[in-house]
Amino acid sequence: MSREEFIELIGPYLDGELSGEERETVEGYLASSEEYRKLAAEAEELTRIAKNDRPPEVSDERWRKMLSEIRDGETNQPFAIVSSRPRWLAPLAGLAAMLVIGFFILSAGPDSSEKPAAPRKDYAETKAEEPIRIKTLDDDDEEKERKPTDPRFDE
């Protein structure tokens, strides 16, 4: 019998719901295995706790108080009526937002009063500009950088 099968049978065994053959099988495993005895003891403890667990006692005075509150309607609070704004306000706000966004998009576009620059006709004659170089090393460091660092050049 696998452990899973034993776990499935231990609850009905403790409740006395197994047939004679199944009960004998479970008792045989309980007699032969310490692990199964521990599982049975844990299940028995949980069953005992569950059977003895009771909801807390409520006094008669508390019951009478709850019943009188229900009958008097003190616990029923009416819903607060919330005034809603007109339904046309949300679409109007959306339209205003779209107009503002459209205005900013149109104002950020190219100025139509200026003429566009004429394209260059002599593409073959254009030369690449000299790349901009930024000096990041001191003069001493630059001189060291220019010297080869390979030991073969020390000769």
Does residue 32 sit within a domain?
A: yes
Does residue 22 sit within a domain?
A: yes
Query: What is the Cα–Cα distance from 25 to 8, expressed in whole angstroms?
Result: 13
Does residue 9 sit within a domain?
A: yes
Query: What is the Cα–Cα distance from 142 to 135, expressed in whole angstroms?
Result: 9
Does residue 46 sit within a domain?
A: yes
Does residue 26 sit within a domain?
A: yes
Is residue 18 within 8 Å of residue 9, measured between CB atoms? Answer: yes
Does residue 73 sit within a domain?
A: no
Q: What is the DSSP letter of 113?
A: T
From the CB of residue 39, how many other CB atoms can be counted at a distance below 10 Å?
Answer: 17
Does residue 28 sit within a domain?
A: yes
What six digits make up the tokens of 50?
């569950």
Domain containing 39 equals 3-52
Structural domain total, the chain:
1
Sorted by sequence, the CB contacts under 8 Å of residue 145 that are 6+ apart come out as 137
Phi, psi angles (nearest 5°) of residue 90? -65, -50
**pLDDT tens per residue across span 37-94:** 888 888 888 888 888 777 778 889 998 998 888 888 755 566 666 666 677 788 889 9
Is residue 4 within 8 Å of residue 17, measured between CB atoms? Answer: no
Query: What is the Cα–Cα distance from 30 to 20, expressed in whole angstroms?
Result: 15
Q: How confident is the model at residue 98 (pLDDT cuts 50, 70, 90)?
A: very high
**pLDDT tens per residue across span 110-145:** 665 667 667 666 655 656 677 777 777 787 787 777
Length of the chain counted residue by residue: 155
**pLDDT tens per residue across span 13-24:** 888 888 888 888
Does residue 115 sit within a domain?
A: no
